[in-house]
């Protein structure tokens, strides 16, 4: 028998309204008791008595046993979620920045108070990747996780490479359609996928990574020369977050534009769609694909979590609690394409080797291997408008053979 959920909803924007649409279309054993909003003057079709501007009217309501948090403000979301968990209420959230930043604390709060926090909607919209990492891969020797985690940037890149639009034109179209914000830097700058990657890494490896230490370089500096280079090499450019095990204990994470070849799963993922590619020792390679933006796709993921709470579901964080000894590292080499203006940047990055080089008065680039640590150290320089960097998609160098043999050594130790 499923529980009867009495819900307090925070936020009634695109996702909140999408969630309500889905709930009203089905006969579910749940009821929305109150909705917290910021602007009471805004016209709404629902009964005004359903709304409140006082968060405590929901958090202190003993009738409400479930909180659904769908607001943009990460700090306010943190206060709402932690208060609810401490008050014995289960929570569903889609705030990826808040969750990624405070995940270890949120896990401890759940354990201390016997409550459950679910957040499938925070990572890749309608794709059920968190639940799969928790359940399907819970006993797997997990190798790598990568994909397209941000629908806004993917929409822009799709319009550039498929329709020949300029970056500025594609960005404006994404903004007009509601995929990108007026200030789109969280999306195109790689911050949004960085937060999602941090969350996914916790479930894939049992490793809590502070998002501040994950390198994120976005597509905001993409130029016509970079686009021309990719086309001449038969690549598309995608913004790709990656988490990879490079030996039995070390995990590397980064968010970088990637030169994607035609035989890559991600090549045909277009517009606002998201995709997640995973690789494990026994399941090998698998691919998840679905809409990553919009009220109904994200609302569907939120509803899935709500439905799971009716049966007392909670994340077990098995890999984290197993104390498997994995740690975060940046001690690897990546092969990158780098467009630059100042020759000093090449010296500062200390390329391990350069396999391709071109220099003209208006356009200079190199292709070569560089330490991830060096990219992190010089990140501010890489954000200059005269610079664009992209991972070539080729394997991690020097530790690549170790990465390929990691499962053989793990299996031998079982």
Choices 3.40.50.720, 3.40.140.10, 2.40.280.10, 3.90.950.10: CATH for 5-118: 3.40.50.720
Q: Which residues pair with 259 in a beta bridge?
A: 237
Total-model pTM: 0.93
Q: How far apart are CA 109 and CA 72, in angstroms?
A: 22
Q: How far apart are CA 237 and CA 258, in angstroms?
A: 6
Of the residues 97, 159, 196, 371, only one is catalytic, namely 196
| Residue count (the chain) | 414
The answer to whether 387 and 381 are in contact (CB under 8 A) is yes
Chain centre distance of CA 351: 29
CATH number assigned to the domain covering 130-290+324-408: 3.30.360.10
CA-closest candidate to residue 14, choices 337, 209, 231, 298: 298
Where are the CATH 3.40.50.720 domain residues in the chain?
5-118
Task: Give the angle subtended at the CA of 173 by the CAs of 170 and 179, to the nearest 5°.
Answer: 105
- Beta carbons within 10 angstroms of residue 355's beta carbon: 11
Q: How far apart are CA 304 and CA 193, in angstroms?
A: 22
Where are the CATH 3.30.360.10 domain residues in the chain?
130-290+324-408
Tens of pLDDT along the chain (414 residues) come to 568 899 999 999 888 998 988 888 887 888 999 999 998 888 888 888 999 999 999 999 999 999 999 999 999 999 999 999 999 999 999 999 999 999 999 999 999 999 999 999 999 988 999 999 998 887 768 899 999 999 999 999 999 999 999 999 999 998 888 788 788 999 999 999 999 999 999 999 999 999 999 999 999 999 999 999 999 999 999 999 999 999 889 999 999 999 999 999 999 999 999 999 999 888 889 999 998 777 788 889 999 999 999 999 999 999 999 888 999 999 999 999 999 999 999 999 999 999 999 999 999 999 999 999 999 999 999 999 999 999 998 755 444 444 444 444 443 333
Q: Which helix (H) or strand (E) holds 66?
A: strand 66-69
- Beta carbons within 10 angstroms of residue 384's beta carbon: 13
Q: Which residue has the tokens 């009738």?
A: 63
User: Could you confirm whether 377 is annotated as catalytic?
Assistant: no
């Amino acid at each position: 028998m499923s529980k009867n959920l009495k819900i307090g909803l925070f936020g009634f924007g695109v996702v909140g309204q999408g969630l309500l649409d889905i709930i009203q279309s089905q006969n579910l054993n749940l009821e929305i008791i109150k909705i917290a909003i910021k602007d009471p003057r805004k016209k709404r079709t629902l009964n005004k008595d359903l709304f409140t501007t006082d968060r405590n009217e929901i958090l202190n309501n003993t009738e409400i046993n479930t909180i659904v948090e769908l607001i943009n403000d990460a700090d306010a979301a943190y206060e709402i979620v932690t208060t609810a968990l401490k008050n014995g209420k289960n929570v569903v959230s889609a705030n990826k920045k808040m969750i990624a930043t405070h995940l270890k604390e949120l896990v401890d709060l759940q354990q201390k108070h016997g409550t459950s926090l679910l957040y499938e909607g925070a990572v890749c919209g309608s794709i059920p990747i968190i639940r799969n990492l928790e359940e399907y891969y819970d006993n797997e020797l997990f190798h790598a996780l990568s994909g397209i985690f941000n629908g806004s940037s993917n929409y822009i890149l799709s319009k550039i490479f498929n329709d020949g639009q300029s970056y500025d034109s594609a960005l404006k179209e994404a903004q007009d359609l509601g995929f990108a914000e007026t200030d789109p830097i969280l999306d195109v700058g790689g911050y949004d996928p960085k937060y999602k990657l941090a969350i996914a890494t916790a479930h894939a490896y049992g490793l809590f990574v502070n998002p501040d230490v994950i390198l994120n370089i976005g597509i905001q500096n993409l130029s016509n020369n970079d686009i021309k280079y990719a086309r001449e090499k038969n690549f598309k450019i995608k913004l790709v977050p990656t988490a990879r095990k490079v030996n039995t204990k070390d995990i590397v994470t980064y968010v970088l534009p990637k030169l994607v070849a035609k035989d890559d799963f991600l090549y045909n993922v277009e517009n606002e769609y998201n995709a997640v590619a995973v690789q494990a020792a026994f399941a090998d390679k698998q691919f998840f694909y679905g809409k990553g933006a919009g009220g109904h796709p994200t609302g569907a993921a939120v509803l899935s979590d709500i439905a799971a709470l009716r049966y007392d579901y909670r994340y077990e964080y098995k890999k984290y609690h197993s104390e498997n000894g994995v740690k975060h590292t940046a001690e690897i080499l990546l092969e990158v394409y780098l467009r630059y203006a100042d020759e000093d940047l090449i010296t500062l990055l200390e390329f391990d080797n350069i396999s391709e080089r071109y220099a003209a008065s208006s356009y200079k680039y190199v292709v070569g291997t560089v330490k991830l640590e060096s990219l992190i150290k010089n990140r501010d320089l890489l954000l200059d408008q005269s610079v664009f960097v992209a991972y070539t998609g080729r394997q991690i160098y020097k530790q690549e053979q170790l990465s390929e043999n990691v499962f053989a050594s793990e299996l031998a130790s079982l």
